[in-house]
Amino acid sequence: MEVGGRSYRLGCRDGDEQALEAAAHELDRRAHALSGLLGALTESRLLLMAGLQVAGDLLEGRATGVDARSLARLANLAQCLEALAGRLEAVAGLEAGPAQT
Helices and strands (H, E) in the chain, number of each type: 3, 2
Mean pLDDT of the chain: 78
pLDDT at 63: 59
Q: Which helix (H) or strand (E) covers residue 55, if one does?
A: helix 43-63
Q: pLDDT confidence of 1, banded at 50, 70, 90?
A: confident
**Count of CA atoms in the C-beta half-sphere (13 A) of 23:** 26
pLDDT tens digits for 76-90? 888 888 888 888 888
pLDDT at residue 99 greater than cutoff 60: no
**Count of CA atoms in the C-beta half-sphere (13 A) of 56:** 7
